Structure 1
Amino acid sequence: MRNRDLSLDLLRILSAISVITIHVAGDYWSAVSIHSLEWQTFNFYDSMARFSVPAFVMISGVLLLDTSYKLTVSDLFKKKILRFILMFLIWSLFYTFVFTPPHNLKELLVSCFSGTTHLWFLKMIIGLYILIPILRKIVSDKQTARYFLIVYIVFSLFVYPLQGVNYFGIIYDQFIDNGYMYMPLGFTGYFIAGYYLKRMATFKKNARVCIYLLAIVGFIITVIGTGVISNAKGTATESLYDYLTPNVAMMTLGVFTFFNYRMPKIEFSDKMRRQIIKLSNYTLGVYLIHPFYVFILNRFHINALSMNPIISVPFIVLIVFVLSLISAALLKKIPVVNKCIV
């Protein structure tokens, strides 16, 4: 345990808390005036937490693309992919009856297979897991991995977001759709970037400072840009919140680099290390269960508008995180359930 690098565990915990922040702050994000202090506060918290999902994907890339972790195709499907498919169906069924109980079999099937808002993450992870044997080949050579990331940055982070922007849509149609440039899209870049940055790349101090400055710029673009675009359109607009945008990628790179270089330098006691690892192991369960508690608290009129959002958002995030953590820990103790639910 002393040799374990806790940077990924700590980042995973922060990412779980940040995902909850997104859902708590976003609950009433489009329900209040874009000119109000409440909206600006929600925008600030939501923008700040946008690195969370990409960071989760990068952590998975670090762990699963490492060839020292033996993973046959058979094990990949039996122990990973099928488990996540089952997990998706169970939680989707659960949230179907919690949020919008179906009136007939068709509604039930549509709801279960589409999944509630946050369960898209499981479908995305399943897709990435299917590609693991291919992606491992890419990261087996540093030059190939670097080339893939360059292509990803160009087509996924710059060209793809422009698909709906006036004449830039033509570029998208011609080079993405007509060029069938699908592989370097989506979250594959984050998956590979996690491994590349952790296992292959090294940044000197000056380079790290530049990365941190880029992260700050990314955050400023996200929070101010969202305000500007929303004001221009007269309605809350979340285009800059998209995980596949340069500004969010810049934030994610900065956060990942900070944890990668700074956290290993902190000395933790054995007791603290055990607690961090334990919390880290519960984060998937926290991710899956937390919308339920956001929903329940809302039913009791405890939400981001219950008081000043500057205070209410972190307060509710803390409550939801603790409740979700307790639930995840309890579910982890139940045989069979702990393998297919959390």
Structure 2
Amino acid sequence: MIEKRDSTALDLARIGACFMVVILHVAAMDFHAFDDRWWASNFYDSACRACVPVFLMISGALLLGKREELPVFLKKRFLRVVPPLLFWSLFYMAWNDWQGRQYGPWQRWLEDLARGPVVFHLWYLYAVLGIYLFVPFLRAIWHASQPLEKKAYLALWALVSAWPTLRAAWGVHADVVDTYRLDAFFGLSGYLFLGAWLHEAYQGVRDERRYLACNALLFALLSLAIMVATYLRSRQTGGPDPLFYDYLSPLVMAASACAFNTLYGLGTRARQFARPLRQVSACTLGVYCLHIFVLRRFESATGLRDAGVSPWWAIPFTATCVFAAALAAVMLLRRVRVFRLVT
């Protein structure tokens, strides 16, 4: 179970993951062409691939240790996700419609919304809805498993989930996952189990300072490995190739575990900032949903990408401005009670 002393650590991890999402989306704009901006894009993108896995690991740390009746769990979780999904989808659809994209009558709006995300980054809210359906059963596995069984589950999940990336990288034609029907161990939901396991393991760490330093170093090395692997793969295929960026690629899985431990460890040392961290953490869902809108407005207003400035500083500068502006907007929105349901 999560104790009060853990809340600040998880708040910092959530804020860190949210900021990484913003950097990732800023950096990704320069990825699809080999030019003088590509290396900076590859560097920052590789360093921030852990963002979504960290979000999911936080959910695992918070949810798997609890015991709740199924209706109670579903009501709480779906009330947390469905209102933001509907609100922000309609927000972006209204903006797109005002910009000239015609969705037609309101029935078409609902059809488009049901088919999938109307803006690419909202895919996460759709994915979380599906993952939450599995949480009660994953929670049962967690409570019923012995330590060795938890490790075995994680090992199988990591191997099966990493196989498609390894298969593509090595040019292997055999599909082991399909042949042996290992799909039950595949998918993003495994990150919830990993987060719960890492959180539990952290409580038994004796030398927290050393553990934090080792995880930070490993995260940096693994991020560099993702960057180099992406370059080599892209050179092999003749164009920018994001194969090793996949959230279930082996390097990203390893980097994500280290990122979670690093952010959590830093959070345990930031208890004097508990209140502001809690306030910012409460806004991260809204920042996630709004930041693409802010990013597009920022790009239109500044034109940094077309101004010939170095992407090495332009990417983090843009991400910081976008994150700050989105955070300020969400904090203002949350002053109105009804908007707290969607941010």
TMscore range, shorter length: 0.7 to 0.9
The Cα shift of 1:218 comes to 1.9
Aligned counterparts of 1:218 and 1:95: Cα–Cα separation in 2: 35
Number of matched pairs:
329
Which one of 238, 252, 255 corresponds to residue 256 of structure 2? 252
Taking structure 2 as the reference length, the TM-score comes to: 0.87
The one-letter amino acid paired with 2:77 is: K
1:152 aligns with 2:157: yes
Aligned counterparts of 1:208 and 1:336: Cα–Cα separation in 2: 39
Q: How does 1:281-292 map to 2 (within 5 A)?
A: 281-292=282-293
Aligned counterparts of 1:231 and 1:256: Cα–Cα separation in 2: 31
Aligned counterparts of 2:329 and 2:260: Cα–Cα separation in 1: 28
Aligned counterparts of 1:88 and 1:300: Cα–Cα separation in 2: 27
Q: Which runs of 5+ in 1 are unaligned?
A: none
| SS at 1:300 equivalent | helix
Number of the residue aligned with 1:46: 45
- Conservation of the 8 A alpha-carbon contact between 1:225 and 1:240: yes
Aligned counterparts of 1:83 and 1:4: Cα–Cα separation in 2: 21
> CA separation of 1:203/1:4 partners in 2, compared to 1, >3 Å: closer, same or farther?
closer
Q: How does 1:26-105 map to 2 (within 5 A)?
A: 26-30=28-32, 32=33, 34=34, 36-67=35-66, 71-99=68-96, 101-105=101-105
| Range 44-53 or range 136-145, more displaced | 136-145
| SS at 1:328 equivalent | helix
Q: Which runs of 5+ in 2 are unaligned?
A: none
The one-letter amino acid paired with 1:224 is: V
Which one of 218, 224, 233 corresponds to residue 220 of structure 1? 224
- Conservation of the 8 A alpha-carbon contact between 1:96 and 1:111: no
Aligned counterparts of 1:218 and 1:99: Cα–Cα separation in 2: 38
| SS at 2:337 equivalent | coil
The Cα shift of 1:5 comes to 4.1
> CA separation of 1:166/1:221 partners in 2, compared to 1, >3 Å: closer, same or farther?
closer
The one-letter amino acid paired with 2:102 is: P
Number of the residue aligned with 2:17: 15
The Cα shift of 1:57 comes to 0.5
1:128 aligns with 2:125: no
The alignment-based identity, stated in percent, is: 26
> CA separation of 1:252/1:98 partners in 2, compared to 1, >3 Å: closer, same or farther?
same
The Cα shift of 1:96 comes to 2.6
> CA separation of 1:176/1:110 partners in 2, compared to 1, >3 Å: closer, same or farther?
farther
The one-letter amino acid paired with 2:53 is: P
Which one of 310, 320, 335 corresponds to residue 337 of structure 2? 335
Taking structure 1 as the reference length, the TM-score comes to: 0.87
Aligned counterparts of 1:48 and 1:96: Cα–Cα separation in 2: 31
Aligned counterparts of 2:319 and 2:245: Cα–Cα separation in 1: 19
> CA separation of 1:262/1:80 partners in 2, compared to 1, >3 Å: closer, same or farther?
closer
RMSD: 2.5
- Conservation of the 8 A alpha-carbon contact between 2:43 and 2:224: no
| SS at 2:277 equivalent | helix
Aligned counterparts of 1:168 and 1:87: Cα–Cα separation in 2: 41
Q: How does 1:206-217 map to 2 (within 5 A)?
A: 211-217=215-221
The Cα shift of 1:107 comes to 5.9
The one-letter amino acid paired with 1:9 is: D
- Conservation of the 8 A alpha-carbon contact between 1:59 and 1:194: yes
